[in-house]
Amino acid sequence: MKRCHPHQKTGTKTGPQNRLTCAVSVPVFCPIKKGSYSATLLVMASMANKLQKVAIYLRVSTDDQHTENQLLQLRGFCASWECHELVAEYVDRESGTRGRRERRDFDRMFADAARRRFDVVLFWALDRFSREGIRKTIAYLQRLDDCGVAFKSYTEPFLDTDNELIAHIVLGVSSYYAQQEALRISARTKAGLERARKNGKVLGRPDGFGRWAPVLAGMKERGFSQGAMSRETGLSYNTVKKYLRQLAAQA
């Protein structure tokens, strides 16, 4: 198992690997009193030095000749990634335009993300993660974030949840599309109601008066009290009272 050394400083590599970072512990050279500031720093450093679990996701075409090379490079990247440990691999041989349910390992990856079996998903490139369009791709990344799982693109150093700008853009775009979808649903609902009105359809909750009026009229003629009518019909006392007022107004 790879260890995260407490006094190892941040390392930097060039190329698609972007920067590799390892949290630096705070050395303490004097006795630490419980509850002191130094003790707090030491606890925070200890938490930061915890190994992060990495899952690789790779989508390839059945005729792709570079699959093994990509997988080897991703594994090599994980091996040199300080404070990170490779714990799972998910590989689909399907088109990126297929949905989550049609990519078995893609779906399995999200199920494991919900169980927090890893902390970050590493993929070769965004188009290897999904080609379903911006809305669904953003939704997938948002779903990982909701699970508390980060993401990182091997060949696109800027596409990384450690990049605060990218994280804000992802959340911003996700919120925008959620808002737009709500507006579209509202517009479709209003259009449907308007179309129904033009076709002469009565909208709203059906009125039970037409059904119960003859029943209540007959019970009234037989001397039923309002309470008895309520018990016999199952209608509330106030509903019976309202319907009787409507009957009286029609008389």
Give the Cα separation of 129 and 18 in Å (integer).
18
Residue 34 has pLDDT above 50, yes or no: no
Residue 119 has pLDDT above 90, yes or no: yes
Dump pLDDT digits (tens) for 88-109: 999 987 654 455 566 889 999 9
Dump pLDDT digits (tens) for 182-202: 678 778 888 877 887 787 765
Give the Cα separation of 222 and 215 in Å (integer).
11
**CB-based contacts of 230: which residues, under 8 Å, 6+ apart?**
236, 237, 239, 240
Residue 24 has pLDDT above 90, yes or no: no
Q: For 105, phi and psi rounded to 5 degrees?
A: -70, -30
Asked whether 26 and 100 are in contact (CB, 8 A), the reply is no
Long-range contacts from 242-249, C-beta under 8 angstroms, 24+ separation: 243/208, 243/209, 243/212, 243/213, 243/216, 244/216, 244/220, 246/209, 246/213, 247/213, 247/216, 247/217, 247/220
Give the Cα separation of 65 and 70 in Å (integer).
10
Give the Cα separation of 129 and 184 in Å (integer).
28
Structure tokens at 48: 């930061």
Residue 37 has pLDDT above 50, yes or no: no
Residue 36 has pLDDT above 60, yes or no: no
Give the Cα separation of 222 and 131 in Å (integer).
72
Dump pLDDT digits (tens) for 147-172: 999 999 898 877 888 777 776 776 56
Structure tokens at 46: 């200890």
Average of per-residue pLDDT across 197-224 = 78
pLDDT of residue 132: 76
CA dihedral 135→136→139→143, nearest 10 degrees, is: -170
Instruction: Give the other-Cβ count within 10 Å of 24's Cβ.
Output: 15
Give the Cα separation of 83 and 119 in Å (integer).
12
Q: Identify the band that residue 57 occupies on the pLDDT scale cut at 50, 70 and 90.
A: very high
Q: What is the Cα Rg of the chain in Å?
A: 32
